[in-house]
Structure 1
Amino acid sequence: MAVFPLPQLEDNAVLLPSSQTNSTQPQLCDVWRDIQGAHNWNGLLDPMVPNLKAEALRYGNLAQLCYDAFDGKSYSKNYGTCYHSKRDLFNKMGMSESGYQVICTDPNEIRRLGRRDIVIAWRGTQTAEEWIEDLRDILVPTRLSYRCKRTGKNQEHHFADGVLIERGFLSCYTSTVRHRQGAAGATVNISTRDLVVSEIERLIQVYEKEMDNLSITFTGHSLGAALATLSAYDIKQMLCTKHNFHQIPVTVFAFASPRVGNLAFAKRVEEIGVKVLRFVNKRDLFHVGVELPLHNNSPFIQHTHNLAYFHNLELYLHLLDGYVGSKQPFSWSGRDHALVNKSCDLLREKYEIPPKWWQEQNKGLVKGPDGKWTQPSEEE
C-alpha cells in the first residue's frame, strides 16, 4: 500500500456542509447506468456530480461494514467470521435503512436505484494469514472454471494470453477453507470464490425476469479492493458464457486498491466490460479502470508521522465526502467526521473525539439467565 503525509491545510477550506443542492440533478433511477460507469464516468468526476458521490459513499459504507462486523479476535470461538447473522447484520450495525439484505429487497430502494442491485463487499486485511498473502507480490498465470448446468461438468476458462494475477490475492480468492453449513451443520471445504459464484448464480436465476434492470456491484478497500476487482472480472467472465446474462452491468468501486494484475489483465478487464472506479491518494502503475485521486486537504485532519493511518477506509470516505473537483478546496458535505477516528487518531484535538473508539460492546460477552458472562455461539 502507498500512504503519504498530508500537505499544509488550505486557508479557504470549507468547514460547513456544502451548499450545493440536488434539486436540479436527475433522479438516480434515470441515470443509474451512467453512475455505474456505462460511459466510464466521463464528465461526472471533475467536478463530481452529487449522485455519483452519494453512491460511491454508500458502497464505501458497505465495505466499512465488513470491517466493523468482522470477528478478528484470535481467542473468539467465532474467529474469522461475522459478529452477526445475515438476518440481523444491517440492523445490528446501524444500517437498517440501507434497503439491502444479500440483495436489495426494499421496494422503495429499488425504485430509487432504478434497478435491483446485487452488492459484493470485501473487507481488507485483518488476519496474520492475510498479511502474509498480501506480501506475496508475484504475478502468476491462472485459469478458473464454471460448472455447466446443462452437462453438470466444469468448463475451464483461461485468462487471455499474457494475463497475470498477483499470487497472494488469487490465493485469498481461490484457496479452500473449512466452512460450516448451518448452525449445527457439517463442515465442507469451499473457497471464497465458490461461495461468491454460487450465490450470484442463484440470485440471477431468482431475478432472471428482471434482467434488464439488474446490476452487480463490487466494492472493497485495500486487499478488499483487489479482491473486488478480481472477483468482478471472474463474474463477468462467467456471465459472458451464459445466454442473455452478458448484458448485466458489473461495476467496481475500489478504495486504496493495490495492483491486482499486469497490463494485460487491465486490458482484458476493459475488453469484457467490467467498469472500475478507483479512489486513490497516489497514481500507481498497472491499475485497471478509471482513477480518481482524492486530496488530503481536510481541515479536520491533523498532521501525524503515523503514515499507516492514511490508508484507513474511513479517511478515504471522509476525503471523498469533501471532494468537489481536482482544483477545488475541501467542502464538507455532512458525513460525520467522528467516523475518521474509529480505528485511528487523525482528527484534530479540538473536535474532542477519542482515538480508536470503535469497539465491540463487552468484547462479545453476554450475560445469561444464570448470571454468567459467556460468548454466544455464532448466529445464523
Structure 2
Amino acid sequence: MKNPLSPILYAKHAYNTTIHFIPATATTAMESTTTESKAPWPEVLGSNNWEGLLDPFDITLRLLILRCGDFCQATYDAFNNDKNSKYAGSSRYGKKSFFEKVMLRPSPTDYQIAAFLYATAKVSIPEAIFVHSLSRESWDRESNWIGYIATTTDEVSRTLGRREIYIVWRGTSRDFEWLNVFGAKSESAEPLLRQKTFGATPTTADSGETSSSSSDSDNDEIPRVMQGWLTIYTSDDPNSSFTKESVRTQVLTTIKHLVGIYKNEETSIIITGHSLGASLSILSAFDLAENGITDVPIAAFVFGSPQVGNQAFNDRLNQFSNVKILHIKNKIDLIPLYPSGLLGYVNTGVDFVIDTRKSSSLKESTNTGDWHNLQGMLHVVAGWNGEDGEFELKVNRSLSLVNKSSEFLKDEFLVPGSWWIEKNKGMILDGNGDWVLEPPDEEDIPVPSGPVEEMVTATSGDGEEKVTPAASGNNKRCWIL
C-alpha cells in the first residue's frame, strides 16, 4: 500500500523544523495576543476598508492573510509542472486528500474541496503559466489546473459561527517572461457585465456603450481590463472535458450553488491569489458581485498583483459595498507596477505595503524573483510591525518555508534552496527493474467535474438534510459532514 503522502516529497528539513500553519480555528502566536486588537470578522473582511487594522497590525487579520497565503502556496506545491508526465498541468493530488498531501498544518481536515478549477486560453500561453505534457497519452492537451474552491467543514463552521468559502487561484512563481508574452493591451470588460450572464436585467450603467472591445477606444467610461487576464478567465474549449465551460463559468456556477446550500448560515466568500492568481482574484471578485452575489461579503486578499483594469473598472467595482480587496505587496516588487499607469491602468483595492528588507533573516537579494516570492512575503507578514516598527515574528511560523521554492534565506540557516521537490523527481524502480515515473494514486488522477447539480444528499450535524458537493470527480464520494 502506498504511503498516504505519495508521491513522497523531499521535505525532511521541514519536519526537523516545526511548521505551524494557521487553521480557521487557531489563534496560536509566539507572544500573548490578549493585549492585541482582535477585530470583528466583518472588519477583518474589510467592511471599514481595514482602517485601524494595518498599523498596528491586527492579529486576526494577520492570521487570515497567512492562511490565504498558505492556500495560494498549496496551488504551487500541488501543480505538476513536469512535461515528461502525462499528467503535466494538473494537480498532483485529488480533492479528497488535497490538504493532507500539501501538508497544510496543523489540521488539514478543517477544510474541504468543493471544486477544482481548470482554465484554457485561445492564445499561446507561456510555460510559466500553462504546462503541457509531451506524452501522447496526456490527460488534456489544452487545459491546466488553475485553482480550487474550498469551504470550512461543518464542524469548524459551527465553531466559528460562520461558513467560509474560499476561491484560490494558482499564479506564477517562475520568471517574468510571461508578462511580455501577454503584452499590455486592454479590452472592454463587457463579457463580465451582468446583461451577459444568467439572463439578468441590464441596468442603466450597463447600457450598450460597454459593448465595444476595440483596444484603441478613447471612452474612459468603459470598464477595461488587461486582455491576457480576461482571455484566461473567459476562454473555453469544446474539445476538452475539463474546460467545456470557461473557468469563469465554473466559478460563478459553483459559488452560486454553494451560497444556495448555505443560505441559512452566515457566509463569507474569500478570494486569494498570488501574481497572475491575484489578477484573477480581482476579476472574479468583480464578476461575482456584478452578476448577483451582492448580499454576501466578498473579500479578496491578493499578493503581488499586476494591475488589472482602468479607472472605470475600479469605479464600477467600488459600487459594490460587499466587495473589498486588500493588496499585500512588497515595497520593492516590480510586478505590481505592471502594465503601467501610462497605459491607463490603475491600482485596485487597499494597498498593504510590506518590505522584505525589514527581516534580518533574508538575503539582500538583487533577484527580482525573490522580491516577488510568496513565501518571502508571508514571512514578513508574520513579523510585520509597521514601516517604522521593528520586525518581530508574531506567529509561530517555520523560517524554512521561505526557501520552499527559492534561496532567499541567508545561508547561515542551513536550509536548502527550493526544497519542495518529489523524491527522485517522481521516478521509481518497477518490478522489471526499470526506472519509470510513478503513476498517481487512483484518487489523484484528474477527473472532469460533473454538472454542479449532480450532488450527493447528506445530513448535517444538526439533523438538517442538505445537498453537498462531492469530494472528488466520483460523485458517489461526498464530503464527510
Shorter-chain TM-score range:
0.7 to 0.9
**CA-CA distance at 1:370 after TM superposition:** 6.8
**How do residues 6-25 of structure 1 correspond to structure 2 at under 5 angstroms?**
20-24=31-35
Equivalent pair of 1:32/1:114 in contact (CA under 8 Å) = no
Pick closer, same or farther for the CA change 1:109–1:325 going to 2, 3 Å. Answer: farther
1:336 paired residue among 398, 415, 419: 398
**CA-CA distance at 1:270 after TM superposition:** 1.4
Equivalent pair of 1:164/1:261 in contact (CA under 8 Å) = yes
**How do residues 163-312 of structure 1 correspond to structure 2 at under 5 angstroms?**
163-177=223-237, 189-210=244-265, 213-239=266-292, 245-273=293-321, 274-282=323-331, 284=337, 286-296=346-356, 297-312=358-373
2:197 paired residue among 146, 149, 165: 146
Pick closer, same or farther for the CA change 1:112–1:41 going to 2, 3 Å. Answer: farther
**Matches of 2:37 and 2:151 in 1, distance apart?**
22
Pick closer, same or farther for the CA change 1:362–1:112 going to 2, 3 Å. Answer: farther
Q: Which gives a bigger RCO, structure 1 or 2 (Cα 8 Å, sep 6+)?
A: 1
**CA-CA distance at 1:227 after TM superposition:** 0.4
**Matches of 1:100 and 1:228 in 2, distance apart?**
20
Equivalent pair of 1:146/1:156 in contact (CA under 8 Å) = no
Pick closer, same or farther for the CA change 1:219–1:238 going to 2, 3 Å. Answer: same
Aligned residue in 1 for 2:12: none
1:326 paired residue among 383, 387, 408: 387
Aligned residue in 2 for 1:67: 76
Pick closer, same or farther for the CA change 1:305–1:374 going to 2, 3 Å. Answer: closer
Aligned residue in 1 for 2:419: 357
**Matches of 1:348 and 1:226 in 2, distance apart?**
31
List gaps (5 residues or longer) in structure 1.
1-16, 181-185, 240-244
Pick closer, same or farther for the CA change 1:366–1:36 going to 2, 3 Å. Answer: farther
Per the normalisation by structure 1, the TM-score is 0.82
Structure 2 residue matching 1:197: 3-state secondary structure: helix
Per the normalisation by structure 2, the TM-score is 0.66
Equivalent pair of 2:45/2:324 in contact (CA under 8 Å) = yes
Pick closer, same or farther for the CA change 1:21–1:67 going to 2, 3 Å. Answer: same
Equivalent pair of 2:274/2:374 in contact (CA under 8 Å) = yes
2:87 paired residue among 57, 62, 78: 78
Listed one character per residue, the Cα deviations across residues 267-300 of structure 1 (whole Å, up to 9, x for unaligned) are 2211113100001123855111110110221010
Aligned residue in 1 for 2:54: 45
Letter in 2 for 1:146: T
**Matches of 2:181 and 2:328 in 1, distance apart?**
19
**Matches of 1:57 and 1:346 in 2, distance apart?**
18
**CA-CA distance at 1:95 after TM superposition:** 1.7
1:122 paired residue among 158, 169, 181: 169
Structure 2 residue matching 1:147: 3-state secondary structure: coil
Structure 2 residue matching 1:37: 3-state secondary structure: coil
Letter in 2 for 1:339: L
Aligned residue in 1 for 2:112: 101
1:376 paired residue among 439, 452, 472: 439
Pick closer, same or farther for the CA change 1:238–1:364 going to 2, 3 Å. Answer: farther
Q: For the aligned residues, what is the CA RMSD? A: 3.0
**Matches of 2:159 and 2:429 in 1, distance apart?**
42
List gaps (5 residues or longer) in structure 2.
1-27, 114-149, 212-219, 447-472, 474-481
Equivalent pair of 2:272/2:301 in contact (CA under 8 Å) = yes
**Matches of 1:104 and 1:18 in 2, distance apart?**
24
**Matches of 1:92 and 1:264 in 2, distance apart?**
42
**Matches of 2:156 and 2:181 in 1, distance apart?**
36
2:408 paired residue among 343, 346, 365: 346
Listed one character per residue, the Cα deviations across residues 140-179 of structure 1 (whole Å, up to 9, x for unaligned) are 11323322499xxxx9996994211001111111112468
**CA-CA distance at 1:375 after TM superposition:** 3.5
Q: Say which is worse superposed, 248-257 or 137-146, in terms of deviation.
A: 137-146
Listed one character per residue, the Cα deviations across residues 190-222 of structure 1 (whole Å, up to 9, x for unaligned) are 211121111112212221222xx1011100001
**Matches of 2:233 and 2:177 in 1, distance apart?**
11
**CA-CA distance at 1:88 after TM superposition:** 1.1
Q: Identical aligned pairs, as a percentage?
A: 32
Letter in 2 for 1:165: V
Letter in 2 for 1:358: W
2:374 paired residue among 313, 333, 356: 313
Structure 2 residue matching 1:104: 3-state secondary structure: strand
Letter in 2 for 1:292: F
Listed one character per residue, the Cα deviations across residues 304-352 of structure 1 (whole Å, up to 9, x for unaligned) are 3322221110111011111012210111233111111111111111100
Equivalent pair of 2:170/2:273 in contact (CA under 8 Å) = yes
Letter in 1 for 2:402: V
